[in-house]
Structure 1
Amino acid sequence: MGVEVGLLGPVELRVDGRVAGLSGAPQRVLLARLALAGGRVVPVGELIEALWEEAPPGNAVGNLHSYVSRLRRHAGGDAVRREPGGYRLVLPDGAIDVSRVERLVAVAGGQGDEQAAETLAEALGVWRGDPLSGVAERLTFAPEVARLAEWRRHLREEWLARRVAAGRGAEALPEIEACATAEPMRERPHLLWMRALHQTGRTAEALAVAKSFRERIADEHGIDPSPALDELQQRILGEDPALRPSVRAARPARPDRFFGRRDEMAVLRKALQESRVTTLVGPGGVGKTRLMTEALAGDELLVELAERSVPADVAAAVAGALGLRAAPRGAVAAIAERLGGSAALLVLDNCEHLLEAVRDLVGEIVRRCPRVRVLATSRQRLGVAGERVLRLGPLPEQDRVALFCDRAALLRAGFPADARSRELAAEVCRLVDGLPLAVELAARREAVFGLAHLRDRLGEGLQVLDPARGGDRATAVSATVEWSYRLLDPAAQRLLDRLAVCRGGFGLDALPYFADDAEPLLAELVDASLVVCDLEAEPPRYRLLDTVRHVGLAHLRSDDARDAHARWMLDFVTDLVRRQRRRNPHTTPALRRELGNLQEAIAWLGDRDEGARLAAWAAVAGSDAPDPGLTAQLVRCAPSSVMSESDALRAFAAGTGEWLNSNLGEAERLLAAALAVLPPGHPVRGPAILIRISNSMFAGRADDVRADALLLLDEPSATGWVRVTGLCCAALMDAYNGDPAAGMDWLKTYEKELTADKGDGFEPFTRGELLAASDPVAALECYEESLRRTTRAGLNYTANIARIGRAAVLIRLGRHKEAAEACREAIAAVRAAGMTAQLWTLLRLTAELLADRGDHAAAAAIVAAADADPYAPAVMGPDRDRLERLRAAATPPETDAAEFALARLQQAAGKGRTAR
């Protein structure tokens, strides 16, 4: 049980991440007094004084014991311990929020200004309000309340000071001004206010702050300020370069480890040797500045532009870095003269908000200074002639997990290094797109929430990563996106917000649904690193990182974007089904690409008629390439009754899902209800009959299969391949009932109809099943022909059942090594597709293989597991006798049957009898 105590705000006890409902003030007083002792024993008398101050009751000791017992019921008996003379609170290190802040402050003390500012922001974020709220009015806590309140003020000032020292005075300025205004007699906020104003070029205002503060304390207290004010004023007047840390020759190496980016580092270093202008481009938080820093040797001319706000600041910043105090002929000319013909590398960091000014300056420097090279970081390319653009993407999974674990271990000594923790860390990193900034922020939150809770909170949104007080775009994920967002044209902003409803990306075909003439705007979004473009995909694929999607969705104030997205999906899936009538090989890949969007649109449309149509078309399109997530969503579409066309469409969608889940009885009920309402010729009626045929097959109802196959022959909406599949299913029922010759006769009777679709793979699969017992070699050729056709057409469902048939023939031919590999491949394929019934068919075959290789116990256990599962399909014909021979007094395996089978196949490799 994880127990935590909060003192920096309302006094609270958390157990396993949930606030415990302490029954009254006495328990909070008791908890606060024990927690403030820092693990030391608190005497009984001191606890009584805290509870009742100067008027304890006659039975105070007994009441104290009662309060302790109640507290133990929440915190656990081991947390509050009775010691000689008193009580002691025993919690793990860091379980009390005060100690977590102390640890963070200690870490910040050994860090550089930029990282220390981030760490102190994390420390301040632990506060939830005024310290010891709820018990602060008691005199016994007055010293601690005063100490903690002053500590908070001090940490806030130190946080602001570190930001100013890191050259981020412009970002910190509003908070510094608010701090100084709130405490007009406190000197340190005023000193910081002066430094921040001077750092942003507002020197006259900085000196005015000094004058005002001096007059105020003289008038009210009759004293002078400390010498620090005079010293700072003189340094400002003397233009001390140390007061402007945003312009410096080289950045000190950071003490924390740098992960990954080996390939990017090699490309960057090569580009710096070969190109005059190189720009590192990528979204906020992707690590452009850190990669640039790691690549520098230390003798470069580095100019940070993040805090520069007007175009003229660009040349001024570079001139200042060169030590130029005046430039009578203009800053650009002076810079060019100073650089001249010498070799140099000029590094411009964070250029995105001053692109035009940076472009002009860099163009002039490159033209006038032939040996000067320029390296820039930006969320958008500069647009300079000859510019080499290197786009930086998220970290690969191995590197992002290593980064997370490294940073988390810095803040929590007990951070686990086991495989499960790495799995959870990988999930956390995926939720933040693998952006290094977000990964580091998530690692800091791990010390507060733990891995599992952090993953769950991130699944609900990225707010958990934002600092308690926003605005610092260097340390908040959403703020980095907002910074880039504000630089966009309003039309591009609107398109970005609307595209945020897309889940899993989008292609160019989606753009007309969201905006007119959207392609130029999309180009702007890609240039600004807010949309990621995958040109390796065919067709090209675009997507918003989840960090960008969260921000875009927060901007939406109407349903227009989601309605437009749903119209796109309706048109998309309607066209997909139209193309699928001819077994187009591109339909399955197209469906796979848009599965996320399809599920999003189905969920959005809900109970509307459009939602019923979309779900039904998705069921038609998805039955050849089942996806477990879509299947589960289709099942949830089931109507309470089937009266209208929309009800029937929902019943068909849900029935298809239940069939794919092997819930055969419910599938039959829903499909029958749908077909009772849908008239002949309705576009969904043919697919619904075919799904019912497949469902009846697994239930072993041969007469129903044959009746529906004949019904399909007269159904106007049924395409050629649908009729072929229905006829083949009827023939298969003969084979599975032990009469493959009757199945062959059936195929001969309808030979003309079977030639309607030569590209379909179900007909050769059927012939393979009919030949399996009499001519297994010929059957194997049929299965392999079916696999060739279905793979070419992207028909995953038929391909998987052909794999099962092929594995069965290999087993019965005694080709054990090939059979084992075929079983492993087929198990992986049908599990990935969520095809439960087919998986049990395959596992029964695997049991045959294991028995043939001498592992009778494993074979019997797998058969027993199939017998115990109501979702396993019915066994018919010769298969019934084969399985009966495998049964013995065995119980199902305790682990997943498929995992059990795979493990036994692996163990049996090379140990069975040689092939017959």
Structure 2
Amino acid sequence: MGIGIGLLGPVELSRDGAVIPLSGVPQRVLLARLALAGGRPVPVTDLIEALWEGEQPDNALGNLHSYVSRLRRCTGADVIRREPGGYRLDLPDGAVDTERVERLVETARGREPATAAGMLAEALGAWRGDPLADVADRLAFAPEVARLAEWRRHLREEWLDRRVEAGAAAEALPEIEALATAEPLRERAHLLLMRALHVTGRTPEALVVARAFRDRLADGHGVDPSPLMGELQRRILTDDPALRVPARSASDAADGPGASDEDAASSPAGPATESGTGLRLGRVDRFFGRREELAALRAALAAGRVTTLVGPGGVGKTRLTSEALTGGELVVELAERSVPADVAAAVAGALGLRTAPRGGVAALAERIGATPATLVLDNCEHLLEPVRVLVGELVARCPGLRVLATSRHRLDVAGERVLRIGPLPADDQVALFCDRAALLRAGFTDDARTRELAAAICRLVDGLPLAVELAARREAVFGLAHLRDRLGAGLNVLEPARGGDRATAVSATVEWSYRLLDPAAQRLLDRLAVCRGGFTLDALPHFAPDAEPLLAELVDASLIVADPPRYRLLETVRHVGLGHLGPDGERQARDAHARWMLAFADDLVRGARERDPWTYPAMRRELANLQEALTWLSGGDGDRDDGARLAARLAVVGADYPDPGLTEQLARWAPERVETPGEVLRAFAAGTGEWLHGRLAEADRLLTAALDRMPAEHDLRWGALLIRISNEMFAGRPDAVRADAERMASDPMAPAWARATGICCSALMDAYGGDPEAGGRWLEKYAGLLDTEHLDGFVPFTRGELLAGADPEQALAWYDRSIAANDRSNLTYTGHIARVGRAAVLIRLGRRAEAITACREVIVAVRDANMTAQVWTMVRLSAELLADLGDAEIAAALVAAADADPFAPAVMGPDRIRLDAIRAAVAAAPPLAGGMPAAVTAVGKALARAGAQGEGHD
């Protein structure tokens, strides 16, 4: 291998892969200056300027020759050549790490995206920290430091871009989100984020990113983004097929730079981000060892239905799992779920399902069906029994499903394969420690003595990766020998009789780090342990005054992971912190947490009133905390009136953006009677939960009881009215809808869009009853209240529905306007119902090829969101289309399947006539066995056959 030089981090000299210690700064300066010249001679004057920056000693030239002579003892005399007027390095190509990276980048150009991503990942892995880290303060290196830092940013963006191109957008998204957060004014990072969000089905959030970036540039600098952003926004709105790529397969997965091996996918060594259904990824530090375990895990996944990765906290289960995944898995972080009764519903919500009227297990089984899928359940140990039940039922119902769980204990499910992992091998422990310590101290020397001390430290913490990383974070403070002594004493004091339970080593290391904190920082950490799913800076005042400096101390100590604007505690740290609180301390901390969530819920309601697109993603990000607070406030120790306030506010917001787990909680707030203000709010919340469950009669009872006692000036009355209107629509009660719409129109507290929605619902009942002209007249009566298209797309959707029969071409234009308006406001539900209406018009216009495409896309979208009523509507519409294409038997079977399901919506007016004709065409058509999943599968297959027949359809 010969001599190697590293510039992408602290300046490093190596021979045959072994690092050669350099004795001082002058040697590093000389080596770096010569290496940056790329084999060209460097004048003596330049070398002197780099060494002394204008304040030269009297004998500068003699000192330079002396320094060169000492450096030659390390490199060999033939490596540093004397040239006329200067010196140069004589090295083979690729001896300097920058040259190796350049070669990799050049080779990656023109390759397939997955291959290119792998090469760029290897290139990024060459960075050991900030470029020229130990000489970066020298003016002579300032241009190169800036160039190399920018080059690293560019390569990172290229790597992420290639991963999206390769179909790994879901896996790359957390890293892209972290990049955009760290670079708020870097346009390419935000273009990447927009595209990744769009191709992973989060188009509304992609459009919010564009608007926020545009506003940030305009407010801060008075400029607009480049035309590239406007062009990408246009392509997203038109759903340009060229933006979408297929999800990657295991064979073409592009491995990114490795990450450390610990239970949390983000460690104290660096930030992490998360996506709604993915493990926290995004680390670019090195991954050590575990190759045999990784191969065993992949083999177990391929061979069995249920695999559980078992090991103590901090051993690396989550990180190993994330290494084994290919990007197409359904991943749920159970550490953020706390209610055993709601585990199935919580999993459904984490996977993006809106409702679970038959229960969480049924919703998941319908979503997964018979298609091949892998469900990953991470951190199951605190919910073992409900997870065991859930996995057993899902495996029985979904023949193509495989489950991978991580836990400190096995699930004990039939057919379960258990893989147990322990600490890293000794050499990997030391390598991990030295790697992390070198990231934090430029002068860290990796030699035999260092490794001897590092090995002793690793033994003290049982070699568990998380504990090793926590210890390495303290090396820059104490030095190796002192760290070994302090850590040993600390663990011995904490655990004088440590035995075979390795989980205690991580807790003890956390406890040791905790004892080094300022007492105020200790108190803050303990209180923050009640937060699930992390927290933001706005939480801090509820837990402690002037807490931001204390948070910085906790981040520096690696007890809190920072991914601004979000922060979180690793699960091991949370458990240690909760253990410090005691009953009184925990009660105070949870009350503070509940106050934070109440304030946050007030912000959510304000956002919902204004149709702020921030509202629904924000609610999703804090859902674990909202549910935790709701659980606390529903128990004996919490303030139940505060709980009713929180539940009612979540009902207002959650009705537009429901989550199955939250729906379960809301439904349990039903009071025995409805008399006090708190009981009114509880009835409203429970009524909303019952409506989302599809239990219309009970929902009507609770909502009516709440509205009968809710004052006219109540700030949430409009929300209760709107939900009762929706409930009445599903029940097919047009007179009740109209009466509540008139109440809404005169409610001074109702926001403009809610009044318009109520009016439109009444018009829609006319249309669905066969009299769209009456609906049009109703809209004319309230025309002054309908200017809300800038807030959402419900009014244009309604106009499309009213015109669908008389002027279908104009109706299509209104649907397109509705979809665009809803996407701008992050209103997935209303956007999907507009897509349903658009598909219906295409069918009835006879535009068969377009209708086939629309039906195939929309039925998948509403099924993935678990919009039960809309799924059955799409099944019925697809039956119409298939009947028109001559496939009468499958059409009749689909209609019969919808008829047999009590959760299918009522049918009125012309729709009833169309479906009667399909029923009459085939005598006694039996419904499809298997309910909704079977119906959706049958639709997909029938439409695929129809689409394959091609041109003859139009």
In structure 2, C-alpha distance between the alignment counterparts of 1:404 and 1:653, rounded to whole Å = 49
Higher relative contact order (CA 8 A, sep 6+): 2
Q: Which residue, 867, 881, 886 being the options, matches 2:913?
A: 881
Instruction: Note the C-alpha offset of 1:473.
Output: 4.1
Report if the CA contact (8 A) 2:741-2:755 is conserved: yes
In structure 1, C-alpha distance between the alignment counterparts of 2:560 and 2:910, rounded to whole Å = 58
Aligned to 2:566: 541
Cα 1:648–1:580 shift into 2, 3 Å: same
Aligned to 1:300: 19
Q: What CA deviation, in whole Å up to 9, does each residue of 1:396-417 have, x standing for no partner?
A: 599999998952876x999563
1:517 aligns with 2:517: no
Q: Which residue, 723, 730, 739 being the options, matches 2:771?
A: 739
Aligned to 1:274: 8
In structure 1, C-alpha distance between the alignment counterparts of 2:927 and 2:779, rounded to whole Å = 41
* Paired AA for residue 319 in structure 2: L
Aligned to 1:910: 948
Aligned to 2:928: 892
Cα 1:506–1:522 shift into 2, 3 Å: same
* Paired AA for residue 724 in structure 1: A
Instruction: Note the C-alpha offset of 1:601.
Output: 1.1
Instruction: Note the C-alpha offset of 1:793.
Output: 1.4
Q: Secondary structure at the match of 2:612?
A: coil
Q: Secondary structure at the match of 1:910?
A: helix
Q: What CA deviation, in whole Å up to 9, does each residue of 1:331-375 have, x standing for no partner?
A: xxxxx9999775499xxxxxxxxxxxxxxxx989999xx9xxxxx
Q: What CA deviation, in whole Å up to 9, does each residue of 1:830-889 have, x standing for no partner?
A: 334443222222222222233333433332222222111111111000110111222241
Q: What CA deviation, in whole Å up to 9, does each residue of 1:75-94 have, x standing for no partner?
A: xxxxxxxxxxxxxxxxxxxx
1:788 aligns with 2:817: no
Pairing of 1:838-857 with structure 2 (within 5 A): 838-857=870-889
1:865 aligns with 2:908: no
Comparing 393-402 with 564-573, greater Cα deviation is found at 393-402
Cα 1:453–1:437 shift into 2, 3 Å: closer
Aligned to 1:247: none
* Paired AA for residue 791 in structure 1: D
In structure 2, C-alpha distance between the alignment counterparts of 1:337 and 1:613, rounded to whole Å = 74
Aligned to 1:798: 830
Cα 1:785–1:454 shift into 2, 3 Å: closer
Q: What CA deviation, in whole Å up to 9, does each residue of 1:556-600 have, x standing for no partner?
A: 322222211111110011122123222222212221221121111
Instruction: Note the C-alpha offset of 1:526.
Output: 3.0
Aligned to 1:595: 623
Instruction: Note the C-alpha offset of 1:688.
Output: 0.7
Q: Secondary structure at the match of 2:846?
A: coil
Structure 1: segments with no counterpart, 5+ residues: 1-268, 279-294, 304-335, 346-361, 371-376, 380-388, 441-450
**TM-score, normalised by the number of residues in structure 2:** 0.51
Aligned to 1:650: 682
* Paired AA for residue 293 in structure 2: R
Instruction: Note the C-alpha offset of 1:769.
Output: 0.4
In structure 1, C-alpha distance between the alignment counterparts of 2:645 and 2:611, rounded to whole Å = 21
In structure 2, C-alpha distance between the alignment counterparts of 1:783 and 1:426, rounded to whole Å = 51
Aligned to 1:255: none
Instruction: Note the C-alpha offset of 1:653.
Output: 1.2
Q: Secondary structure at the match of 1:891?
A: coil
Q: Secondary structure at the match of 1:630?
A: helix
Cα 1:912–1:431 shift into 2, 3 Å: farther
Cα 1:425–1:853 shift into 2, 3 Å: farther
1:417 aligns with 2:302: yes
Cα 1:415–1:364 shift into 2, 3 Å: closer
1:407 aligns with 2:293: yes
Instruction: Note the C-alpha offset of 1:390.
Output: 7.3
Instruction: Note the C-alpha offset of 1:438.
Output: 11
In structure 2, C-alpha distance between the alignment counterparts of 1:616 and 1:679, rounded to whole Å = 15
Q: Secondary structure at the match of 2:567?
A: strand
Q: Secondary structure at the match of 2:302?
A: coil
Structure 2: segments with no counterpart, 5+ residues: 23-66, 76-94, 96-132, 142-257, 261-268, 274-278, 325-374, 385-405, 410-419, 424-458, 465-501
Comparing 734-743 with 598-607, greater Cα deviation is found at 598-607
In structure 2, C-alpha distance between the alignment counterparts of 1:624 and 1:673, rounded to whole Å = 22
In structure 2, C-alpha distance between the alignment counterparts of 1:701 and 1:397, rounded to whole Å = 51
Cα 1:620–1:850 shift into 2, 3 Å: same
Cα 1:456–1:395 shift into 2, 3 Å: closer
Larger radius of gyration: 1
Q: What CA deviation, in whole Å up to 9, does each residue of 1:150-184 have, x standing for no partner?
A: xxxxxxxxxxxxxxxxxxxxxxxxxxxxxxxxxxx
Q: What CA deviation, in whole Å up to 9, does each residue of 1:208-248 have, x standing for no partner?
A: xxxxxxxxxxxxxxxxxxxxxxxxxxxxxxxxxxxxxxxxx
1:553 aligns with 2:613: no
Instruction: Note the C-alpha offset of 1:297.
Output: 6.1
1:435 aligns with 2:319: yes
Q: Which residue, 796, 799, 807 being the options, matches 1:775?
A: 807
Q: Secondary structure at the match of 1:542?
A: strand
* Paired AA for residue 725 in structure 2: I
Instruction: Note the C-alpha offset of 1:501.
Output: 2.1
1:486 aligns with 2:512: yes
Aligned to 2:843: 811
* Paired AA for residue 620 in structure 2: R
Q: Secondary structure at the match of 2:662?
A: helix
Report if the CA contact (8 A) 2:270-2:561 is conserved: no
1:575 aligns with 2:603: yes
Q: Which residue, 545, 560, 564 being the options, matches 2:592?
A: 564
Superposition CA RMSD, Å: 4.7
In structure 1, C-alpha distance between the alignment counterparts of 2:290 and 2:945, rounded to whole Å = 36
In structure 1, C-alpha distance between the alignment counterparts of 2:134 and 2:7, rounded to whole Å = 18
In structure 1, C-alpha distance between the alignment counterparts of 2:613 and 2:259, rounded to whole Å = 42
* Paired AA for residue 18 in structure 2: D
Cα 1:456–1:586 shift into 2, 3 Å: closer
Report if the CA contact (8 A) 1:609-1:646 is conserved: yes
Pairing of 1:72-471 with structure 2 (within 5 A): 272-276=6-10, 299-300=18-19, 343=74, 406-407=292-293, 415=300, 417-418=302-303, 420-421=305-306, 434-436=318-320, 456-457=380-381, 459=383, 464=409
% identity of equivalent residues: 50
* Paired AA for residue 521 in structure 1: L
**TM-score, normalised by the number of residues in structure 1:** 0.53
In structure 1, C-alpha distance between the alignment counterparts of 2:318 and 2:645, rounded to whole Å = 37
In structure 2, C-alpha distance between the alignment counterparts of 1:855 and 1:427, rounded to whole Å = 55
Instruction: Note the C-alpha offset of 1:378.
Output: 14
Aligned to 1:631: 663
Between the two proteins, the alignment pairs up a number of residues equal to 554
Report if the CA contact (8 A) 2:542-2:595 is conserved: yes
Instruction: Note the C-alpha offset of 1:455.
Output: 7.0
Q: Secondary structure at the match of 1:626?
A: coil
Q: What CA deviation, in whole Å up to 9, does each residue of 1:702-753 have, x standing for no partner?
A: 1111111111123232222111111111100010001101110111111122
Report if the CA contact (8 A) 1:477-1:547 is conserved: no
Cα 1:749–1:522 shift into 2, 3 Å: same
Cα 1:697–1:363 shift into 2, 3 Å: closer
* Paired AA for residue 928 in structure 2: P
Cα 1:736–1:676 shift into 2, 3 Å: same
Q: What CA deviation, in whole Å up to 9, does each residue of 1:77-115 have, x standing for no partner?
A: xxxxxxxxxxxxxxxxxxxxxxxxxxxxxxxxxxxxxxx
* Paired AA for residue 659 in structure 1: W
Q: Secondary structure at the match of 2:595?
A: helix
* Paired AA for residue 300 in structure 1: V
Cα 1:876–1:392 shift into 2, 3 Å: closer
Q: What CA deviation, in whole Å up to 9, does each residue of 1:494-517 have, x standing for no partner?
A: 333322322222222112222222
Q: Secondary structure at the match of 1:434?
A: helix
Aligned to 2:939: 901
Instruction: Note the C-alpha offset of 1:530.
Output: 3.4
Q: What CA deviation, in whole Å up to 9, does each residue of 1:638-685 have, x standing for no partner?
A: 223323222221221121122222221221121112112212111221
In structure 1, C-alpha distance between the alignment counterparts of 2:744 and 2:710, rounded to whole Å = 14
